[in-house]
Amino acid sequence: MRATEKIQKPTILFYGVFELTEGASSTPIYELTKCVGSYAPFEVAPIYNVRHRNITLYLGKAIKDNPNAPALRIYKSSLNVTGLKDLSTKGWLTGYAYGYPPTTQYYGEKTPRLNPFYNYRTDAFLFIIHYQKQRGKKDTTPRKIEILVLEGARVLIPLYAKQLQIGGFDADLEGLRKDAATPGNHTNLTPGELF
């Protein structure tokens, strides 16, 4: 790619705001509170909880001792949704991260299940991490995580993450934040209708 060529803007399939739930769990649990668009893997178990009629995700440390694996991951039950890559330091999220869905057809060692992300394995995620500012204290648990799902962006996601960090998605985010509604109250727009 030449220096004068621009990276084509990806299609944003889904935008969601996940907020930390208050509870007794030592593992941070985030519930979807606002969104625009739809993303099929988020609308099935284990991500979607039929009984509670909500979408929740957990934030935790990587389970495997792999030097190439990101220090933190987003998961639900035994499904690893994504590792939070790059823009983190020593397990501390700096404000921006990226990742992509698992590519294996099945997940779960004890009871293999069909991976809901398998048909969407070329997509990618961008994350904006928000901490609660506390006087004299460094909060290590994000209070809110914004997620953008980009269609077919797996190969270019590190570049899109840098673009997000320098303001390349600011206009898109402004519109998405304005249009975001409580889950169940939003219109499931097709990607072409988002913008």
pLDDT tens-digit readout, 81-90: 888 886 655 5
> Bigger pLDDT: 111 or 52?
111
Percentage of the chain beyond pLDDT 90 is 44
Angular region, 94: left φ>0, alpha ψ -120 to 50, beta rest:
alpha
Going by their DSSP bridges, the two strands 54-61 and 96-99 should be labelled as unpaired
CB atoms within 10 A of CB 61: 11
Instruction: Say if residues 149 and 125 touch (Cβ distance below 8 Å).
Output: yes
Question: Residues near 139 by Cβ (< 8 Å), separated by ≥ 6?
Answer: 131, 132, 133
Tokens of 153: 């962006």
Domain ranges of the chain: 12-186
pTM for the predicted model, two decimal places: 0.84
Q: Which residues of 16-40 are buried (b: 16+ CB within 10 A; e: fewer)?
A: bbbbbeeeeeeebbbbbbbbbbbbe
Backbone angles phi, psi at 105, to 5 degrees: -75, -30
What is the distance between the alpha carbons of residues 119 and 104, in angstroms, rounded to a whole number? Answer: 10
What is the distance between the alpha carbons of residues 80 and 70, in angstroms, rounded to a whole number? Answer: 12
CB atoms within 10 A of CB 104: 12
Tokens of 21: 């739930």
With 70 as the cut, is the pLDDT of residue 147 above it? yes
Helix (H, G, I), strand (E, B) or coil at 49: strand
pLDDT digits (tens, 9 = 90+) for 16-70: 999 999 876 788 999 999 999 989 998 887 778 766 678 889 888 877 767 777 7
